[in-house]
Structure formats: C-alpha cells, structure tokens
C-alpha cells in the first residue's frame, strides 16, 4: 500500500474513532461512579469524629478531620502483626493454589484419559457446595486428623497451624478453587496445538511441553487466578477464624474491633476504618500485579 | 509414526492422571468425608457434645418437613432459579463488554482497571459480612442510598422526580427505576467475570487480528470473527461461575434461609443440612443442563 494512502486511512479511522471515545469515557465514568460510591462514604467516615456522623450538614467532607480512628483501629487490630500473618498465609496459599490448579487444569484440558470427564464434573460439583455447609465436619476432620484411620487415634490436631490451609491448597480444595481449575482448563483447551505438537515430535515429554511451551503462554490466566486466590484468602473469615482461632489475622481482628461497644455509631466508625485498612494493601498488590502483567504480555507479544 | 502416536497417547494419559492426582486426593480427603458426614447429619437429629456431636437417625424427617410443611422452601428455590435466569445473560454481556473496553488503550486505563477490580474485593468474605451487619450506615444512608434488596446507588426519590418531570407514564418509570437498581447489582456481580475475559483477550494471538485486518474486516466483524469465537471457552467458565454465584451468593434469600435454620432450634443444624443438600442437588442439575447446552457452541482453537 502507498504510504500516503495508508496515512489517509489511519487519519480517517481516527476521525471515526471520536464518537466512540466519548461514549466510552461516559460509560467508564458512570460505571466507576456506581462502583466507587459505597466505598467513598466509608472512606470519608474513617476520618470523621463521632459528632460528624450525626451532623446533618456533614456529607462527604468531615468537619473535624481526624486521624484518631485510624490510630485507634491500628492499635485494636494489632495491625502490623495481623498484616504480617495475613500476608504470609495469603502468599503461601495463593502460590500453592495457582500451582495446583494450573497442573490440574492442564491435565484435564490437554492430557485426557479415561475418567477425566468425570473429574471435571466433580470439580464443578465441589464448587456448587459452599464451604459454610461442610465447615463443621471439616473442622473436626482437621481437629482429629487421621486420614480415614491411617494415623493412630485420636489423630493429630492440625488446628492453629498452616497445615489445613496448605493441605487444602495443594489439593485444589481451597476457597473456590474449582473455578481456578475450570479457568485454567478452558484456557489451555483454547490454545492452539501447533507448538505443542512440534514439541512432542521433537521428543519432549508432556511435563516439559507443559513447562516450556504451554505455561509461558498462560501468563494472563495465571496472574488472574493468583489475584482471585489472593483476594479470597485475604478476606476470608470463615476458615481463618476456625482453623486459626485465637491467632492474630486481619479479618479475625476486624470482626472483633466493635465488641463491647454499645454506641452503634462508634462501631460503624471503627468498622469502616478497619475495612479500609484491610482493603488498602490488596489494592496495592493489584496495582503492582496488573502493571507487571500488562507489561509482560506486551513485551513477549504472546505469539503462538 | 503410528506406533509413536500410540505411545504418545498413552504417555499423555499417564501424565494426565499424574497431573490431576492432587485433586482426586483432595476430593477424597477433604470433600467426601465432610460431604458424607453432612449427609448423615441431614438424616439425623444432632446433639453437640464436647468431642464433637452425636447423631440419632431419623430418616427423611427433615426433608419431609421442608418440602411439605414449610411452605416457603419450594418458593424460594423457584425464586432463586428465576433470579439466576435473569442474572446470567446480563452479567455475561456486561462483563464481556467491559473487558473489551478495558483492553483498549486509553489514558487512565490503570485507574479504570483498579476501579473495576473493586467489586472483586467488596464481594468477598468479611467485607460482605460486615456490610450486611453495618446497621448504622444503612440507617444513615437509608433515605438516599440503600434501597430494598441491595445498595442502590441513586436516590430513588430524586430519580423518580426527575422522570416524573419528563411526564413519563408511571409504570414506565417503575420499570426504569428497577433497571437502574439492577445496573448496580449487575456491575457488582461482574468483577470476576471481567477479569477472566480480560485475561482471555490478552491471550488472543495478534496474528489472528492481523489476518482479519488483511481481509479488510471492520471492528464489528473482527469481534464476531476473531474475538467472540476465541472467548467462547471462557464464556462457558463465566456462565458456570455466574450460575453458582447467583445461586449461592451469601446474601441470597435461599442461602440466608439455610444459614438461619441453624439457629431455629436444637435440631436446626440437621434441617439446615437437609435444605442445603436438596438445594445443591437442584443447582447441580441446572448446571449440568446448562453446560450440556452451552458446550455445543464452544469453539476450541486446535
């Protein structure tokens, strides 16, 4: 194509582009507003004194701006310690979950064997049952852990350690792990098989093909699954409060900061402040991860 | 060559078993055991003791109670089903559309992606739990923000007044109001799906788009010829997730009934288990039917 002709075409495209840019911006702003709005009200109350909350003239901007809530809640939650514990547990759990769910998903997608269809169905079924329903037997399972009687009575007490989390993560049984397995399965199933075939013809075994050919092309899916695992473990209260009872974690501390206080407005102040302190590190992780993720995708160009 | 194929297929199957082994082990150790126990609990009266609990077998008593005595149970299942039927198409189309927008290049894209990620955080674990328990915020905001059934964003009265000024018929206004309320709910339920689609969009080989461009395809055609078919595997995943999420969301009426049943009486935990198992069997059947239908339309690029 002649350069001038090409330039004209690009120019023409840009002109056509403008109405879409306007519509897109309007939509993004509107949707962002809907999402941010509830959070904004929390953000502002965290910096209010109690009297501001009942002051009808105060809507968004606190009249008496204060950092007292933040300081108090940091102390009540033992924030540094809780942050460390939660960060450690969450990192361990999400790395393990990404690894196990990727393996399982790849096995179901690319290495079919008799019964792999049935296993896929079981994965979906596990996902249907929310943990709340099986939590009591699950707790007893770890309290008297005996592997169906293989270990001597009365079994080992795993409560209070990382083991219940580690064991469930390694086996793809953690929080909503079923959807991770299904995401990875569909992702790998959707990939082109030409490179895979070439690797097999060159004599690579399935493990090498997986590690050096298929895995690098799945980075966006890996990052996405990691983020979900991270957020869900970070915010988890059900498992953490039962398996780690008495220990200092962000969610368990957060659930307690209002106890014993009879004034509802103070409870709300504290809760909102605590919630912000819980969410803030997550947002930081997301911003860092997603930047890395886009760059890595654009750098490699992800050719098949 | 044929022999090589045979060996390769066998080798692959062997590795497949090896790769999926963790799940099978986990399923047996951490699902079957609680599953069977929970099943037994639903068939018994339960009494908690110091070392656990004692069961007293009563057969289908709890199932009979919820199906034939409790007049609300069946209705709630039907309601949950209709709600899911409404949610799924809206969530899927909204999240696909949002992901395509967020995948384009524009200024402020990182900020937009952060904002669209917020619902993922806000709909999980303790945040959701506290939001429901947060009584004061609800009272304070009630006049303007919190409508029935969920955090509505727009002031009902103000929006209604605005529509009335336009002298629209009142039934139409009610329809618009419901739609506006729904938009907030749909947006909040789409966080996960948007990220899944975004990952899918990032992985579509650029060569496919180049090929489409070389053929002179318009943006609309590019979407239907390249983007949509390449995303169908993930559309299936998102449909599965949306169905499960809609049925088992922590704030749905049915799930609240199941959780609340625990506190009804000393036998509550048994009744709750019975309600849960019947409900999940129903959800599993719905899911199986949907997967069967949708799978036919899924294209795998091979």
Domain edges within chain A: 1-32, 74-300
Identify whether residues B116 and B248 lie together within a single domain.
yes
Do B155 and B280 lie in one domain? The reply is yes
Cβ count within 10 A of residue A180 = 29
Contacts of B34 in chain A (CB under 8 A): 134-135, 137-138, 141
What was the pLDDT predicted at B183?
82
In chain B, which residue's Cα lies nearest the Cα of A96?
Answer: B22
Same domain assignment for residues B13 and B142: no
Assess if residue B301 is contained within a domain.
Answer: no
**Residues in chain B closer than 8 A to A179 (CB atoms):** 192, 237, 240-241, 244
Asked, for residue B56, whether it belongs to a domain, the answer is: no
One domain, residues B29 and B173: no
CB contact under 8 A, B203 and A220: yes
Whether the per-residue pLDDT at A301 is higher than 50: the answer is no
In this prediction, residues A21-28 reach a mean pLDDT of 87
Contact B277, B39 (CB under 8 A): yes
Q: How far is it, in rounded angstroms, from Cα B2 to Cα B17?
A: 23
- CB-nearest to A111 from B16, B31, B206 is B16
State yes or no: pLDDT of B124 exceeds 80: no
Min Cα distance B148 → chain A (Å) is: 15
For residue B60, is it within any domain? Answer: no
- Cβ-Cβ pairs closer than 8 A, A with B, add up to 294
| pLDDT tens-digit map of A37-85 | 777 777 787 787 777 766 666 666 777 777 888 888 888 888 999 999 9
Is B142 a member of any domain? Answer: yes
CATH pick for A74-300 out of 1.10.3720.10, 2.60.40.1120, 3.40.50.720, 3.40.50.300: 1.10.3720.10
Output the pLDDT for position A160: 85
Q: What is the mean pLDDT of chain B?
A: 80
Summarize the confidence of residues A290-299 as an average pLDDT: 56
What pLDDT does A267 receive?
81
For residues B184 and B229, state if they share a domain: yes
Q: Looking at the predicted structure, is the pLDDT value of residue B287 above 80?
A: yes
**Residue A292: pLDDT band with limits 50, 70, 90:** low
Task: Work out the angle between the directed axes of helices A264-300 and A3-45 (0-180°, nearest 10).
Answer: 160
Per the structure, the count of domains in chain B is 2
Average pLDDT value for residue range B156-179: 67
d(CA B115, CA B104): 16
* Residue A9 buriedness (CB in 10 A; 0-12 / 13-18 / 19+): exposed
| B107 in the same domain as B223 | yes
Of these ranges, A100-114, B30-44, B148-162, the one predicted with the greatest mean pLDDT is: A100-114
- Residue B165, min C-alpha distance to chain A (Å): 22
Q: For residues B32 and B82, state if they share a domain.
A: no
Taking residue B269's Cβ as centre, other Cβ atoms within 10 Å add up to 22
Nearest CA in chain B to A32: B115
Q: Is residue B163 part of a domain?
A: yes
Identify the bridge partners of residue B48 per DSSP, sorted by sequence position. Answer: B53
Decide if B234 is inside a domain.
yes
Would you state the pLDDT for residue B143?
A: 38
pLDDT at B152: 41
Element (H or E) spanning A17, and its range?
helix A3-45
Report if residue B58 sits inside a domain.
Answer: no
Which is more confident, A89 or B41? A89
Tens-place pLDDT, residues B18-53: 999 999 999 998 898 888 888 888 888 877 777 667
Per-residue pLDDT for A299 more than 80? no
- Residue A298: band (very low, low, confident or very high) from pLDDT cuts 50, 70, 90: very low
* CB atoms B121 and A235 under 8 Å: yes
Contact A254 B130 (CB under 8 A): yes
Provide, rounded to the nearest whole percent, the portion of chain A with pLDDT above 70: 87
Residue B273 lies in a domain: yes
Q: Which of B23, B49, B133, B144 to mutate: most A Cβ within 10 Å?
A: B23
Q: Is residue B142's pLDDT more than 50? A: no
CA distance A127 to chain B (A): 8
**Segment B52-63 mean pLDDT:** 78
Q: How far is CA A72 from CA A69, A77, B46, in A?
A: 5, 9, 43
H or E segment to which residue B48 belongs: strand B44-49
Q: How far is A131 from chain B (nearest CA, A)?
A: 10
B125·A237 Cβ contact <8 A: yes
Please state, for a pLDDT cut of 90, what percent of chain A lies above it.
Answer: 25
Which residue segment(s) compose the domain that B9 sits in? 1-42
Question: What is the rounded CA–CA span in Å between residue A180 and residue A253?
Answer: 28
Read off the pLDDT band of A23 (50, 70, 90). Answer: confident
**Is the pLDDT assigned to residue B140 strictly greater than 50?**
no
In DSSP terms, B44 is beta-bridged to B57
| pLDDT single digits (tens) A211-227 | 888 888 888 889 899 99
Contacts of A125 in chain B (CB under 8 A): 284
Chain B neighbors of A187, CB-CB under 8 A: 199-200, 203, 233-234
Cβ proximity of B257 and B72 under 8 Å: yes
How close B37 gets to chain A, by Cα (Å)?
A: 6
């Amino acid at each position: 194509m002649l350069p001038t002709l090409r330039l004209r075409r690009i120019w023409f495209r840009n002109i056509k582009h403008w109405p879409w840019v306007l519509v897109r911006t309007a939509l993004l702003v509107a949707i962002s507003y809907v999402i941010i709005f509830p959070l904004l009200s929390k953000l502002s109350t965290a910096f209010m004194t109690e009297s501001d909350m009942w002051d009808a003239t105060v809507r968004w901007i606190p009249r008496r701006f204060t950092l007292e809530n933040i300081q108090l809640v940091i102390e009540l939650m033992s924030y540094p310690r809780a942050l460390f514990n939660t960060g450690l547990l969450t990192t361990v759990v999400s790395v393990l979950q990404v690894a196990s769910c990727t393996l399982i998903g790849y096995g179901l997608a690319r290495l079919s064997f008799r019964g792999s269809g049935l296993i896929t169905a079981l994965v979906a079924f596990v996902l249907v049952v929310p943990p709340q329903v099986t939590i009591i037997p699950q707790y007893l399972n770890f309290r008297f852990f005996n592997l169906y009687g293989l270990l001597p009575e009365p079994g080992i007490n795993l409560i209070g350690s990382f083991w219940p989390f580690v064991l469930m993560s390694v086996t793809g049984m953690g929080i909503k792990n079923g959807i991770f397995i299904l995401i990875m399965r569909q992702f790998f199933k959707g990939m082109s098989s030409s490179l895979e075939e070439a690797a097999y013809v060159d004599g690579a075994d399935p493990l090498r093909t997986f590690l050096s050919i298929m895995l690098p092309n799945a980075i966006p899916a890996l990052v996405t699954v990691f983020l979900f695992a991270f957020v869900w473990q970070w915010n988890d209260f059900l498992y953490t409060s039962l398996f780690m009872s008495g220990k200092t974690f962000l969610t368990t501390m957060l659930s307690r900061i209002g106890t014993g206080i009879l004034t509802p407005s103070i409870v709300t102040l504290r809760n909102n402040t605590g919630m912000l302190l819980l969410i803030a590190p997550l947002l930081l992780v997301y911003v860092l991860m997603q930047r890395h993720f886009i760059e890595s995708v654009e750098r490699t160009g992800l050719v098949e | 060559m044929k022999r090589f194929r045979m060996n390769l297929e066998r080798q692959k199957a062997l590795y497949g078993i090896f790769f999926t082994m963790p799940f099978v082990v986990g399923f047996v150790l951490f699902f079957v055991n609680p599953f069977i126990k929970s099943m037994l609990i639903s068939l018994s009266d339960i009494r908690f003791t110091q070392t656990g609990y004692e069961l007293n077998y009563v057969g289908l008593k709890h199932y009979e109670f919820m199906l034939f005595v409790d007049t609300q149970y069946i209705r709630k299942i039907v309601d949950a089903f209709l709600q899911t039927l409404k949610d799924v198409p809206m969530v899927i189309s909204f999240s696909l559309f949002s992901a395509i927008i967020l995948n384009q290049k524009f200024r402020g894209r990182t900020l937009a992606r952060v904002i669209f990620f917020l619902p993922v955080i806000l709909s999980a674990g303790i945040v959701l739990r506290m939001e429901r328990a947060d009584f004061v915020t609800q009272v304070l905001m009630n006049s303007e923000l919190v409508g029935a059934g969920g955090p509505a964003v727009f002031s009902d009265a103000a929006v209604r007044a605005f529509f009335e000024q336009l002298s629209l018929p009142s039934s139409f206004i009610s329809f618009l109001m419901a739609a506006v309320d729904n938009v907030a709910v749909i947006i909040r339920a789409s966080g996960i799906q948007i990220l899944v689609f975004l990952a899918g969009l990032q992985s579509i080989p650029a060569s496919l788009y180049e090929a489409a461009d070389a053929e002179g395809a318009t943006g609309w055609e590019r979407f239907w010829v390249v983007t949509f078919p390449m995303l169908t595997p993930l559309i299936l995943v998102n449909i599965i997730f949306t169905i499960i999420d809609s049925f088992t969301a922590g704030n749905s009426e049915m799930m609240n009934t199941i959780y609340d049943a625990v506190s009804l009486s000393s036998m509550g935990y048994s009744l709750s288990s019975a309600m849960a198992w019947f409900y999940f069997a129903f959800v599993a059947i719905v899911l199986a039917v949907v997967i069967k239908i949708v799978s036919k339309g899924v294209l795998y690029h091979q």
